[in-house]
Amino acid sequence: MSNILPNLRKRLSERLHAGEIQALASNADTCHDNTLRKDLYTLTLDKDPRVAYNALWCLTYLPARHSQWFRAKHPEMIDHLLTCQNTSHRRLLLTLLERTFDPKAPLRTDFLDYCLDTINSTLPYAQRALCMKLAYAQCRTIPELLSELREVLELMEYGPTSPGIISARRNIMRQMSRHDIESTIDH
C-alpha cells in the first residue's frame, strides 16, 4: 500500500466532476511504477461508497493498454460484482470487465449465470446491455452456450426494453447469425 493512499482516499471521498476523474485517470496512466493505478484499484473496495465509486469511475478512463493488468484482476472483480449491492458500482465493474474481457480466459460459470440472469431482469438497462455483451463474449466459442444465450435473448421480446437494449440485442443476434453461417461453411 502506498503512502499516497490516505490523500487519494480523502480526495475520492469528495464530490468530483468528470474533469477531475479524467485527470486522476491520466495521472494513473502515466505513473511509471503503477502505484496510483494500484491504489485506485484498492479503493474500489473501500467501505465509503463514494470513494469506491470514484475509484471505479477513474479506472474506467484508463486507456486500453492497461487491459492486461485488468485481466489479472478479473477473478477479484467478478467476485466483487457477484456480491456488490450498489447499482452504480455494478455498472462500473461490468464496464471494466467488458472493456478488458479476455475470450481465452477460463469460463466462470457463476459469472456467466449472473450475466444470463441479468439480461431479462429488472436491473437498469445499462447493466443488462453490458451483461448481454459479456454473455456473448463468454459463449461465442461454445455452441451449446450460444444456443442458451439465443433463447435468453429471444425472451427479451416479451419484456420492457429500451432503444439501447434493442440495439445491443440486435447486434449480438447479428453476430450470432454470422457465427452460425461461418460454422456451416467450416463443416
The pLDDT of residue 99: 95
Residue 111 belongs to a domain: no
Q: For the chain, give percent helix, strand, coil, nearest 5.
A: 75, 0, 25
Residue 119 belongs to a domain: no
- Could you give the angle at which helices 49-60 and 87-99 cross, rounded to 10 degrees? 20
45 plus 132 within the same structural domain: no
70 plus 130 within the same structural domain: no
100 plus 129 within the same structural domain: no
Residue 14 belongs to a domain: yes
How far apart CA 161 and CA 156 sit, in angstroms, is 8
Q: Which of these three, 71, 106, 141, is where a domain ends?
A: 106
How far apart CA 5 and CA 13 sit, in angstroms, is 12
Residue span of the structural domain in which 156 resides: 125-187
Q: What is the pLDDT along the chain (187 residues), one digit of tens a residue?
A: 556 678 999 999 999 999 999 999 999 999 877 899 999 999 999 999 999 999 999 999 999 999 999 999 999 999 999 999 999 999 999 999 999 999 889 999 999 999 999 998 989 999 999 999 999 999 998 989 999 999 999 988 776 788 989 999 999 999 998 866 665 555 5
Give the contacts of 162 (CB within 8 A, at least 6 positions apart): 125
Q: What total of structural domains would you count in the chain?
A: 2
150 plus 177 within the same structural domain: yes
Residue 127 corresponds to which amino acid? Q
Residue 17 belongs to a domain: yes
The pTM of the full predicted model, rounded to 2 decimals, is: 0.90
Closest CA to 92 of 68, 124, 48: 124
The pLDDT of residue 184: 54
136 plus 180 within the same structural domain: yes
The pLDDT of residue 34: 86
Residue 115 belongs to a domain: no
12 plus 87 within the same structural domain: yes
Closest CA to 93 of 103, 83, 106: 83
How far apart CA 159 and CA 76 sit, in angstroms, is 32
